[in-house]
Each structure stands twice: as C-alpha cells, then as structure tokens.
Amino acid sequence: MRVRPQLSRSAVFWRTFPFAVVTALLIPLHASASAESQRPAHTQILAPASVTQGRGVVLLGRLTVAGRPMTGQDLTFVSRPDSSADWTPLATAQTGFGGWATVQVPAVTSRTDYGVYYAGIRGIGESPTAATTVHVINVVASAPARVRYGHPAQLAGRLTMDGKGVASQPLHFMFRHSAHQRWHAARRDLADENGWAKVERQFPRTFQVGVRFDGADGMARSPLAVATVQVTRPPTPRFVFPFRDPGRAMSSGAWTQDQGVDLAYAGNACGSAAVLVAVGNGVVVQEGIDGFGPTAPVLKMTSGVFAGRYVYYGHTGRVFANVGDTVRAGQKLAEVGCGSVGMSESPHLEIGVGVAGGPTCCPAMHQTSAEMLHQLLAALR
C-alpha cells in the first residue's frame, strides 16, 4: 500500500496562500464594481405651499445622480391624502433640461401630499421618495337669505386652510345688486380666531355680497364666495273703502266733493246700520272737528298711499277708538251719525285727507278731494 505523505502545517499554508491573496484582491474589486453600477439617485419636488380651492397645481420633479442632472429618465409622481396613507401613482414624466420633469394636477380640492421618485435602471439605484404638501385655501360667504327693508344685514365670510379657520387675515367684502353688475363698495375685516370676518350693510333692494381672501403670508388667493340677500318689503295695505258694507254705498254718481268727498249709505242709513272702518293703518290723533261734529275722528296714517298724512271722518255718531289708539286697515272705527251732525242736512260721511305736512284738519275746498275720490273709486273695483 502506498502511503500519501502528510504535509506539515507550514506546507499547507504556503500552498493556500496564493489563492487567499488572489481572493482578497478580487473581492474588493467586485464590491467596487457593484457599488459603481448602483450609483445613488436623488429626487426633489417643487410645488406651491397652498392653492385656491378647486384650482390646478403644477408639480416639478428633478433627478440628479452624484449631483449631476439626468435627462431622458422617467420620474414617477405619486400622491396621498396624508402621511398615514399609502402613496398612489399619479403620473410619469420624462426629465428634460436640468433634470426637471413636470406634471399638471387639474384640480386640488383638499390637502394633499405629493411625491416623486426614480425607479432606477442598470447602474443607477432607486431613489427615495421626495415629498411636499399642498394646502387648500377656501372662503365661504354667510348671509341671511332674506332681510326686511330698512333693516341691516349681518354678512360674514370664513377663511379656511384645509377646512380649518385661519385667524388675523383680511377678508375683502364686495357688493352689487345683480350678477350683471360690477362689484363695488369694498369693505375689509380681519378674521377672528375661527377664521370669521363680519360686516353689516343695509340696502334698499335685493343684493349680492362677495367675499374673497387676496392672499398673504405665503397663502394662495381664495376663490370668490357669493351669497344673495333678498330685501323684502312688507306688503303695502291697500286703501280700504270706509264703509264696512261697500256694496250698500250710494252710487258714486251721487257723491260730491268739497273739502273731502261726501257719500252715504243707501237709504241714508246711519248708526249701527252704517258702520265705518279705518281706510288703512293709523293712530287716532283727534276726536271732534268744528263743523263735522263732536265725535269726528282724525287718523294719522301709517300705511298706504296716505302714510304720514291725516284722514278725517266727518259727521260721525258713535266712535269705537279713542285718541292715542292704533287702528288697523278695515277695523271698525265709527258709525255714520243719525240726523244732523255738524253742518249736515242728512246722515252721510265726509271723508277727506290733509295736505302733506299740514295740520290735522282740514284742507281747502277741492285741494285734496280729487285724491280721496280716486282712492274711493279704486277701492270699489
């Protein structure tokens, strides 16, 4: 049997030494080549810090490798509603001059994170995702749908960023009467801690209020918020015929004019058979007129065509309202006096209206009687 000679430890060392040296030299070279083939990529993203509600935004992404811009490479843009959500692919764009790529987002309606990354190719590794946040600026207008004529309207606007109120920023209030007119009469007010700004305005007819934030402190300009306020007037009470039963009045052909208009119930009815009512809203300011009887009431009208003027009822008997009382249109006021009351030959009513700004009674002959006749005839139609 042939016996293989046993090598000493020193012999083994020298036989394996060349292999170990070569291996030690090759491993760093391989690692260096691997590192060189996977050069790190870097991306950055640019976008406005805030944008007007519903407006679009342009995203700029840039790719560099070892500080040098890379052209002709695809960058992937992504988005997410907040940092706790996963990224969602948005678009891919190719880099051009300076390593920049552009993506247009058509409308931003809420706070959004946007990011960009490079997926890498042979020799260049994948980049981390560069991210930025775009906030949304909005304004809402608040106003009553209706306001009574002569009353001021409380108008307000609220500035928000991502749905939360922004304080200490000026809001711009504008006004116009319709959508076909230009805005005018600008007012400004600082938003409070909840983002609300308020003004008070009074208009004689329906109007629109527009509220806008013009942008400041790095925040985008807001959209124009518009609210319409309808100014309502109380219905003007019509002139009420002074007889409770107008159908029982003598024909208008029998009426005559002097200071006022003389008219009577058919058959010269009087007393409870000939009740008189207020021709409109008013206040009883006098009772009794020389020549018209001791009970003749005088009303200061607060509504209708004779508002602010005095209307008198001559030749009355019993009255149902005292001086200082407020009466409503159509309210029972008096009765036609029976017999001769004042300067009269038969039961009838003389109703007249004073001149504007004049005394409680009475106008000159035919000075205002035509006005009263016109209203009496109109009330019977």
- Structural domain of residue 194, as residue ranges? 143-232
Q: What is the pLDDT of residue 218?
A: 86
Residue 84 and residue 124 share a domain: yes
Cis peptide before 362 (omega within 30 of 0): yes
Q: What is the pLDDT of residue 234?
A: 75
286-318 residue pLDDT tens: 999 999 999 999 999 998 899 999 999 999 999
In angstroms, the Cα distances linking 133 to 44, 78, 111 are 13, 12, 7
Q: What is the pLDDT of residue 27?
A: 38
The answer to whether residue 52 sits within a structural domain is yes
7-55 residue pLDDT tens: 344 343 334 434 443 334 333 433 333 444 578 999 999 999 999 999 9
The tokens for 184 are 């005018």
Can you list the positions of beta strands (E) in 96-221?
Answer: 100-105, 112-117, 130-142, 146-148, 153-161, 164-165, 170-176, 184-190, 196-201, 207-212
Residue 153 and residue 221 share a domain: yes
Cβ-contact 328, 238 below 8 angstroms: no
Residue 221 and residue 163 share a domain: yes
Please report where in the chains the tokens 């609210």 appear, as a residue: 227
The answer to whether residue 20 sits within a structural domain is no
Cβ-contact 91, 103 below 8 angstroms: yes
- The single-letter DSSP state of residue 268 is G
Residue 372 and residue 307 share a domain: yes
Residue 201 and residue 94 share a domain: no
Amino acid at 166: V
The tokens for 38 are 């996977």
Q: What is the pLDDT of residue 16?
A: 44
Residue 257 and residue 366 share a domain: yes
Residue 254 and residue 373 share a domain: yes
Q: What is the pLDDT of residue 33?
A: 39
The tokens for 248 are 């029982």
Q: What is the pLDDT of residue 37?
A: 53
Cβ-contact 136, 110 below 8 angstroms: yes
| Beta strand 41-46 pairing with 57-65 | antiparallel
The answer to whether residue 253 sits within a structural domain is yes
Residue 176 and residue 120 share a domain: no
CATH number at residue 167: 2.60.40.10
CATH number at residue 340: 2.70.70.10
Number of domains in the chain: 3
Residue at a domain's end among 186, 206, 232:
232
Residue at a domain's end among 208, 232, 256:
232
Residue 267 and residue 167 share a domain: no
Residue 180 and residue 129 share a domain: no
CA gyration radius for the chain?
46
Q: What is the pLDDT of residue 236?
A: 64
Nearest to 117 by CA among 135, 97, 91: 91
The answer to whether residue 258 sits within a structural domain is yes
The tokens for 295 are 């009970």
The answer to whether residue 173 sits within a structural domain is yes
Cβ-contact 199, 143 below 8 angstroms: no
Please report where in the chains the tokens 């009303």 appear, as a residue: 299
Residue 258 and residue 210 share a domain: no
The answer to whether residue 294 sits within a structural domain is yes
Query: Which regions of the chain are under pLDDT 50?
Result: 1-36
Measure the CA–CA gap between 276 and 335, rounded to whole angstroms: 5
The answer to whether residue 112 sits within a structural domain is yes
Q: What is the pLDDT of residue 257?
A: 96
In angstroms, the Cα distances linking 324 to 289, 297, 327 are 16, 11, 10
In the chain, the N- to C-terminal Cα span, in Å, equals 150
Residue at a domain's end among 109, 136, 163:
136
Answer yes or no: pTM beyond 0.95.
no
Q: What is the pLDDT of residue 185?
A: 81
Q: What is the pLDDT of residue 13?
A: 35
The answer to whether residue 19 sits within a structural domain is no
Residue 375 and residue 255 share a domain: yes
